[in-house]
């Protein structure tokens, strides 16, 4: 069964007298354990779409099923619970909390999820910090580490609740070439190891070269779907 089924999603922003059709009848399906990217120029609707999939906003029309849940029907409280249990987020500017250490940043989403014993909590955090090679930095604050290190912490934070789906909006935009590849490699490994689906928005060729399916957005419309016919890592 598909992890995501999107049908006829439209989103119009109304600011004052101006209406902007950010998404126009967009539809697609994404399978579990996929590595997918939406690409398109600035303003094409990528962030709008990721925000809808992430239950952070509601569409003007259309339907969206994520992991068996009709997410556009969730009220605010139910959407927050759904996010906490099913989704992880990675952002262009990392969005770490400056007053929390690396360890505490990764721990943070777990504090929202009930019923995880503290030993299990600690093990999950330490395992993920090891996976992103940040164990030795765990007591540092975000302003004491580099951009690439911050994004590795953000990956650990996104995965600590074992989400089925991680949404990553331009995750490599603020990283240099080498660091971007390292971050993409970590996400790919997480996908292989854990079966997590990653959905990116990007115009970064490095990500485009690594994903399995590329959806193209142009001016709010889905204009292309390219699948790399079963090509996997050598």
Quote the CA–CA distance of 194 and 184 in Å, as a whole number: 15
Q: Does residue number 224 form part of the binding site for ligand ADP (CB under 6 A)?
A: no
Interface segment toward ligand ADP; rule CB under 6 A; list 41-49, 115-123, 133-141, 177-185: 41-49
Q: Show the tokens assigned to 93.
A: 């500017």
Closest-CA residue to 210 (of 178, 176, 187, 177) = 187
Instruction: List the single partner that 115 binds among ligand ADP, Mg ion, none, CB under 5 to 8 Å by kind.
Output: none
Closest-CA residue to 68 (of 85, 50, 80) = 85
Q: Does residue number 44 form part of the binding site for Mg ion (CB under 5 A)?
A: no
Q: Show the tokens assigned to 73.
A: 């029907």
* Interacting residue with ligand ADP among 44, 101, 105, 197 (CB under 6 A): 44
Q: Does residue number 83 form part of the binding site for ligand ADP (CB under 6 A)?
A: no
Q: Which is nearer to ligand ADP, 22 or 158 (CB)?
A: 22
Taking every pair of Cα atoms in the chain, the longest distance, rounded to a whole number of angstroms, is 55
Total residues at interface with Mg ion (CB under 5 A): 2
Q: Show the tokens assigned to 105.
A: 């940043």
| Angle, vertex CA 48, rays to CA 81 and CA 168, nearest 5 | 65
Q: Report in angstroms how near the CB of residue 122 gets to Mg ion at its nearest.
A: 35
Q: Which is nearer to Mg ion, 196 or 201 (CB)?
A: 201
* Interacting residue with ligand ADP among 36, 46, 83, 148 (CB under 6 A): 46
Q: Report in angstroms how near the CB of residue 21 gets to ligand ADP at its nearest.
A: 8
- Check if the beta carbon of residue 124 is closer than 8 Å to that of residue 160: yes
User: Residue 39: CB partners within 8 Å, gap ≥ 6?
Assistant: 46, 201, 202, 203, 208, 214, 215, 216, 217
Q: Which is nearer to Mg ion, 106 or 180 (CB)?
A: 180
* Interacting residue with ligand ADP among 1, 16, 42, 231 (CB under 6 A): 42
Closest-CA residue to 4 (of 94, 72, 75) = 72
Q: What Rg, from alpha-carbon coordinates, does the chain have? A: 18
Q: Does residue number 47 form part of the binding site for Mg ion (CB under 5 A)?
A: yes
Q: Does residue number 149 form part of the binding site for Mg ion (CB under 5 A)?
A: no
* Interacting residue with ligand ADP among 4, 30, 45, 52 (CB under 6 A): 45
Q: Which is nearer to ligand ADP, 6 or 159 (CB)?
A: 6
Interface positions with Mg ion (CB under 5 A): 46-47
Interface positions with ligand ADP (CB under 6 A): 13, 15, 20, 22, 40, 42-48
């Amino acid at each position: 069964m598909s992890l995501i089924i999107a049908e006829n999603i439209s989103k119009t922003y109304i600011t004052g007298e101006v209406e902007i059709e950010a998404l126009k009848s967009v539809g697609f399906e994404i399978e579990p354990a996929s590595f997918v990217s939406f690409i398109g120029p600035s303003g094409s609707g990528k962030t709008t779409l990721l925000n809808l999939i992430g239950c952070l906003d509601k569409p003007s029309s259309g339907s969206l099923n994520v992991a068996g849940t009709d997410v556009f029907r969730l009220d605010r409280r139910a959407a927050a619970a759904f996010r906490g249990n099913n989704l992880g987020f990675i952002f262009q500017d990392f969005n770490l909390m400056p007053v929390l250490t690396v360890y505490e940043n990764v721990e943070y989403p777990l504090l929202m999820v009930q019923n995880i014993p503290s030993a299990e909590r600690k093990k999950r955090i330490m395992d993920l910090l090891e996976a992103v090679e940040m164990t030795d930095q765990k007591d540092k604050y975000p302003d004491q580490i580099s951009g690439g290190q911050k994004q590795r912490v953000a990956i650990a934070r996104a995965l600590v609740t074992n989400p089925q789906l991680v949404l990553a909006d331009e995750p490599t935009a603020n990283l240099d070439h080498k660091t971007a590849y390292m971050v993409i490699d970590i996400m790919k490994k997480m996908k292989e190891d854990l079966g997590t689906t990653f959905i990116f928005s990007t115009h970064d060729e490095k990500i485009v070269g690594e994903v399995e399916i590329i959806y193209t957005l142009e001016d709010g419309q889905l204009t292309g779907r390219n699948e790399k016919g079963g090509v996997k890592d050598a």
